[in-house]
Chain A
Amino acid sequence: DAGVIQSPRHEVTEMGQEVTLRCKPISGHNSLFWYRQTMMRGLELLIYFNNNVPIDDSGMPEDRFSAKMPNASFSTLKIQPSEPRDSAVYFCASSPQGALSAEQYFGPGTRLTVT
């Protein structure tokens, strides 16, 4: 299995631009998670999906952030408009069970820099 795939691996954009991060979970996993990692705040859970349905988006920082999962093999995290404070590494993870208590498999991350 290829594991969780994220694209792009690096993204540099200017403030105000729209940014879309993509994730392909491991085939057969029915839960998907988006995290943000910064030096200041560590790892933060932004949102997670079970069977393509958003379950908890309480970690999404602002309305500028949105996430979708149109099917079991694809998810996007969009930031519009982007701001310099959004600079971070964004991780996607998937899990074979429909609960946070199961282990999660992480992708390599997308390093976002907003100038």
Chain B
Amino acid sequence: AQSVTQPDIHITVSEGASLELRCNYSYGATPYLFWYVQSPGQGLQLLLKYFSGDTLVQGIKGFEAEFKRSQSSFNLRKPSVHWSDAAEYFCAVATGGAGNQFYFGTGTSLTVIP
């Protein structure tokens, strides 16, 4: 069965430090991949997406993610974290095509310390 795994439930980083949030998926073909961010009390906002082409994708707010087929991963990165980046981050996968399914990971909560 298809699934999305975010192995880190909670991450704490210092402001200005780099960030990497992990996401692994289980699917036989290349899926459509997304990262969303959820601030407290808010809905989810799309940060970036990968459908095809260049495996390094740029998103909003200075985030980027790299699709690695060999590792079934789509990790989110940011070179320098700001206090406003504190939020919940969700990786999502859509299988596309007939029988299209959409799965969210369980989320990673990010705390930024000054």
Enumerate chain A residues within 8 angstroms of B107, measured Cβ to Cβ: 42-43
CA distance A4 to B105 in the complex (A): 22
In angstroms, how far is the closest chain B Cβ from the Cβ of A103? 5
| A49 in the interface (beta carbon within 8 A) | no
Contact A99 B100 (CB under 8 A): yes
CA distance A107 to B105 in the complex (A): 19
Enumerate chain B residues within 8 angstroms of A45, measured Cβ to Cβ: 102, 104
| B51 in the interface (beta carbon within 8 A) | yes
CA distance A106 to B45 in the complex (A): 7
| A100 in the interface (beta carbon within 8 A) | yes
| B90 in the interface (beta carbon within 8 A) | yes
CA distance A108 to B41 in the complex (A): 7
| B53 in the interface (beta carbon within 8 A) | no
Beta-carbon contacts of A27-61 to B below 8 Å, as 1s and 0s? 00000010000000011010000000000000000
Contact B44 A106 (CB under 8 A): yes
A interface, CB within 8 angstroms of B: 4, 33, 42-43, 45, 91, 93, 99-101, 103-109
Given contacts A105-B46, A109-B43, 5 further A-B contacts (CB under 8 A): A99-B96, A101-B32, A101-B51, A101-B100, A103-B49
